Amino acid sequence: MAGTKPLSWKWKLTIAIVILLLVGIGFILTEWGHGAMENAIQERYNTTLPAERINMDSADSYLTLAWWVGNVCQRTKRCTEMYKKFMGVEDDTIWQKIDSGKRPWKGFFDPSDNSGWGIMHPRAPEAFYEYIHQYESLGHSGQFIREEAHKYYVLFHKVYPQVAKSNGKPHPRFYIYWEKIKDKFIMKFRGLPPSDIQPKPKEYPGSEWLGKEHELNKPKS
């Protein structure tokens, strides 16, 4: 329109900032943005040497993203898939072959040299704990929730010692989440807890560490 003044630099800057904010909000709240972040983490994982993967800070980023996808964006099914990927149990047929030496691990775990994240990672029991909460919110029956929760025991009490060659000892953080999973998701739905779980060894952290996972990673003085 004739006589219309061009926008000042202040208005142009304001518009640019608004657009960037909208793009940023869209990035963190949409499936497209989540996919881009997950792909970036996957790329870094793939390009990291197997022996170094378990110490990657990208594991924290991935679990934070999974929590965000499920609890903030309410993409519950996708959230459960991400947790299963972290634990290396994306392929559901693993539960039919759990006692086999050829378990179909799939996700962030390489059974050929026990590398990657999977059940070997320090935060794997935490990932399962968050997973079962999301699984319950999908509306499954009590029977299915109970059976799914029992897999925590299978992974970290039965399979972990075989994979890690830990002389029969469960995952070091098994006991942090076991009591809550047993009470909330097994016994609540009329399930009986396994009878072969020994009292928590003194060197294992207990439930008092819930919410303080970062402190467990501090170097010992």
Better-scored residue on pLDDT, 145 or 115: 145
Q: Provide mean pLDDT across the span 5-23.
A: 60
pLDDT score for 5: 64
* Helices 31-46 + 58-67 axis angle, to 10: 160
Task: Flag whether pLDDT at 213 surpasses 60.
Answer: no
Residue 219 lies in a domain: no
Distance CA 73, CA 156 (A): 29
Look at residue 89 and give its three-state secondary structure.
strand
Per-residue confidence (pLDDT) for residue 205, from 0 to 100: 82
Distance (Å, whole) CA 182 – CA 150:
8
Q: Count the domains in the chain.
A: 1
Phi, psi of 90 (to 5 degrees): -60, -35
50: in domain: yes
The confidence band for 215, taking pLDDT boundaries of 50, 70 and 90, is very low
Q: How many CB atoms lie within 10 A of CB 4?
A: 6
50 lies in which domain range?
10-209
Residue 61 has pLDDT above 60, yes or no: yes
pTM of the entire structure? Answer: 0.84
| 44 within a domain of the structure (yes/no) | yes
More confident residue, 58 or 100: 58
- Please give the pLDDT value at position 28: 63
Does residue 195 form part of some domain?
yes
**Which region among 13-27, 49-63, 82-96, 179-193 has the lowest average model confidence (pLDDT)?**
13-27
Query: Stretch 169-176: mean pLDDT, rounded?
Result: 94
Given this model, what pLDDT does residue 221 score?
A: 35
Estimate the crossing angle of helix 58-67 against helix 124-137, to 10 degrees.
10
Query: H or E segment at 83?
Result: helix 76-87
